[in-house]
């Protein structure tokens, strides 16, 4: 008996061999008797999708199938109007931290997932809003991180940071990463931040190339609200260009005096996973943990 019957399908726009991959997945879904609805914007012109229903919103499906890697997953989450529908991802190449299976595994695993042989892994997103006076510069949810950083000139920026209204510090650095536990294995890890299990409700603040050796990454409880103010330097060369990116996909220029507010969302992003995998197994396979160090 099918646990997920109404299936939405979206795909990375420029994925190699797009027609063949979409056709392969559609064939599998048709054999299961699934009610298929496709993202016309990104499956335009694919012959195997002809005659299928158009996906108009996540409210009309039971499961959203994403053909692509972690970047496509982040884009899709940003475009979702609600997070109530589970996500199942199929990646053409190497499976990232978010993608669940490869195209080669789809014939074997996809029918099992549709029949309920899987678990729902819930991840907290971070709600981020940048304000300029009474107006809003940009806002959105991030599953990995929001990054405040300086522009092309190699000059430090000052970011006054408070938590629940209490002063924390003014980071003087190339920038600041506000990451979720899911994002702790992404950019913030490369910047020296800790790995945090995704079941922990928290926000990770990681300065980028801090001027002070005492300013280290810090993990903030998930129910605490964070505010970051961009301070002007008043240098004779003028203020440095500052910007913020959300999950590496949304860009906004910031000005001195702009304030960024961040808090863990009450909503969760739901991923459909195979039962046998654990987060620790993912760390071992993706970060190559578990083996003996090379001599």
Residues 210, 194 contacting (CB under 8 angstroms): no
Task: Pick the closest to residue 57 from 74, 82, 35 (CA basis).
Answer: 82
* β-bridge mates for residue 119, sequence order: 273
Q: How many CB atoms lie within 10 A of CB 101?
A: 18
Write phi, then psi, for 5 (nearest 5 degrees). -110, -40
Judging by DSSP bridges, how do beta strands 63-67 and 87-91 pair with one another?
Answer: parallel
Task: Pick the closest to residue 264 from 185, 186, 191, 179 (CA basis).
Answer: 179
Beta-carbon contacts of residue 220 (< 8 Å; ≥ 6 apart): 163, 202, 203, 204, 205, 226
- Residues tagged active-site: 70
């Amino acid at each position: 008996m099918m646990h997920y019957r109404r299936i939405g399908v979206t795909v990375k726009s420029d994925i190699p061999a797009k027609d063949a991959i979409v056709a392969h997945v559609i064939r599998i879904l048709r054999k299961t008797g699934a009610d298929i609805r496709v993202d016309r914007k990104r499956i335009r012109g694919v012959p195997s999708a002809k005659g299928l229903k158009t996906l108009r919103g996540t409210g009309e499906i039971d499961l959203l199938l994403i053909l692509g890697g972690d970047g496509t997953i982040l884009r899709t989450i940003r475009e979702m109007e609600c997070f109530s529908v589970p996500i199942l991802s199929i990646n053409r190449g190497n499976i990232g931290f978010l993608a669940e299976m490869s195209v080669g595994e789809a014939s074997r695993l996809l029918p099992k997932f549709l029949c309920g042989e899987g678990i729902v892994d819930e991840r907290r997103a971070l709600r981020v809003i940048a304000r300029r006076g009474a107006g809003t510069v940009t806002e959105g949810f991030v599953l990995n991180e929001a990054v405040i950083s300086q522009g092309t000139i190699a000059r430090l920026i000052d970011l006054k940071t408070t938590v629940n209204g209490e002063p924390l510090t003014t980071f003087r650095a190339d920038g600041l990463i506000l990451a979720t536990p899911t994002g702790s294995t992404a950019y913030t890890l490369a910047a020296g931040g800790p790995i945090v299990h995704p079941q922990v409700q928290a926000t990770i603040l990681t300065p980028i190339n801090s001027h002070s050796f005492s300013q280290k990454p810090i993990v903030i409880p998930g129910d605490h609200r964070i505010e970051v103010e961009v301070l002007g330097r008043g240098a004779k060369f003028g203020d440095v260009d500052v910007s913020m990116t959300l999950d590496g996909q949304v860009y906004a220029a910031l000005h001195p005096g702009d304030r960024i507010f961040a808090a863990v969302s009450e909503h969760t992003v739901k991923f459909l996973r195979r039962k046998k995998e654990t987060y620790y197994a993912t760390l071992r396979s993706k970060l190559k943990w578990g083996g003996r160090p090379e001599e």
